[in-house]
């Protein structure tokens, strides 16, 4: 026999959620007008803030100002506008939960089913050479992360979008489900939302650490570059994170594996040890021998590194940091071949 709570969970996990109201507040306005127009075309009530609301109105999209929705004005130069119970109550109450539904009605909470938010450009702000500390602080977003986290926590009922690249995905999902989004999509978008707020906080804390070093913690967050062909062994999975593609250009050939990335990293580090043209041999990241080649044309080698992994060739643009992660700690037995050229030095492995 199903209890009320079990039935409620079953409904939440199996049913799609119809979107009737959306809250849109974005700093990066790429594609937002067409996205909002598509939502409005489906009869969705759109709430918006500040510059986003102005842009949408100029594009002919009807919107409600957030102050109209909350019945409270934006104050403190916009620092407080979405930090309001009607916003977070509308996001967080559990649909289908009798107690939550009753309290929402009592408090006048209107459900918000879709949140579209991207954050103040803090990272771009602190990258400016003449940025002041006060300017940086002012670009720390408070309301945006709060709405994102509220929506993501209640992903069983609410769809949250933090990346313009997902606008078309959401619209297609709604078209295929009669204006609803699926639980699977909401789960994926919620994960992306928590990743985004985590990265945002990391950038802020790293910046503030430069102003007053606490050494309380150290964190690294690297974006996914690509899934690798396989891990340390062919039956295992692996992925590459960081900024590898900013420093290495693929010329041709099949995709690299985890072990290929390790060998490229080892070759790059080895080459940095020499100033004169030198040939070195590597086997599974281990240098096996080296020999100076004083007669090699130094101009040919200067400032470059050329890596060949069997039929795959990469041309590094400049040195950089990258990280590969495999699902195994066991050694494999690949047989890659390498020829590297950088800083007037050659390195190869076989």
List, in order of start, the domains of the chain with CATH numbers. Answer: 12-211 (3.40.50.1380), 224-349 (3.40.140)
CB 280 within 8 A of CB 268: no
- pLDDT one-digit tens code per residue, 164-174: 989 999 999 98
Say how far apart CA 302 and CA 10 lie, in whole Å: 65
Residue 121: predicted pLDDT: 82
Structure tokens at 193: 């939302």
Residues of the chain whose pLDDT is less than 70?
1-16, 211-219, 294-350
Say how far apart CA 331 and CA 262 lie, in whole Å: 12
Residue 167: predicted pLDDT: 92
Residue 213: predicted pLDDT: 65
Say how far apart CA 102 and CA 108 lie, in whole Å: 10
Neighbouring CB atoms inside 10 A of 265's CB total 16
Residue 137: predicted pLDDT: 87
| Predicted structure pTM score | 0.62
Residue 291 a catalytic site member: no
The per-residue DSSP string of 290-339 comes to: EEE-TTS-HHHHTT---EEETTEEEEESS---EEEEES--S-------EE
Of 18, 283, 284, 313, the catalytic one is: 284
Of 29, 84, 153, 283, the catalytic one is: 153
Residue 99: predicted pLDDT: 86
Residue 284 a catalytic site member: yes
């Amino acid at each position: 026999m199903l209890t009320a709570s079990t039935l409620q969970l079953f409904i939440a996990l199996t049913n799609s959620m119809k979107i009737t109201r959306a809250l849109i507040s974005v700093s990066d306005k790429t594609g937002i007008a067409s996205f909002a127009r598509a939502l409005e075309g489906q009869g969705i009530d759109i709430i918006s803030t500040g510059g986003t609301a102005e842009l949408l109105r100029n594009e002919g999209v009807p919107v409600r100002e957030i102050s109209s929705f909350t019945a409270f004005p934006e104050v403190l130069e916009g620092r407080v506008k979405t930090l309001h119970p009607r916003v977070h109550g509308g996001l967080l109450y559990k649909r289908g939960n009798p107690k939550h539904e009753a309290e929402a009605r009592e408090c006048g909470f209107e459900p918000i089913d879709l949140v579209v938010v991207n954050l103040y450009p803090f990272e771009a702000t602190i990258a400016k050479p003449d940025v002041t500390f006060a300017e940086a602080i002012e670009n720390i977003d408070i309301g945006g992360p709060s709405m994102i986290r509220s929506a993501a926590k209640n992903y069983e009922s609410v769809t949250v979008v933090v990346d313009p690249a997902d606008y078309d995905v959401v619209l297609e999902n709604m078209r295929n489900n009669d204006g609803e989004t699926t639980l699977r999509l909401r789960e994926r978008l919620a994960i992306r939302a928590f990743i985004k707020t985590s990265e945002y906080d990391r950038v802020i804390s790293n910046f503030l650490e430069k102003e007053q070093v606490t050494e309380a913690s150290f964190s690294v967050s690297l974006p996914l570059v690509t899934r690798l062909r396989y891990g340390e062994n062919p039956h295992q999975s692996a992925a590459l994170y960081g900024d590898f593609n900013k420093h290495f250009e693929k010329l041709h050939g099949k995709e690299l594996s985890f072990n290929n990335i390790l060998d490229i990293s080892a070759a790059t580090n080895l080459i940095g040890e020499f100033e004169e043209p030198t040939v070195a041999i590597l086997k599974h990241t281990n240098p096996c021998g080296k020999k100076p080649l004083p007669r090699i044309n130094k101009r040919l080698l200067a400032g470059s590194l050329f890596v060949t992994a069997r039929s795959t060739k990469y041309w590094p643009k400049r040195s950089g940091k990258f990280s590969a992660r495999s699902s195994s700690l066991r050694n494999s037995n690949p047989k890659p071949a390498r020829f590297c050229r950088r800083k007037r030095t050659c390195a190869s492995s076989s």
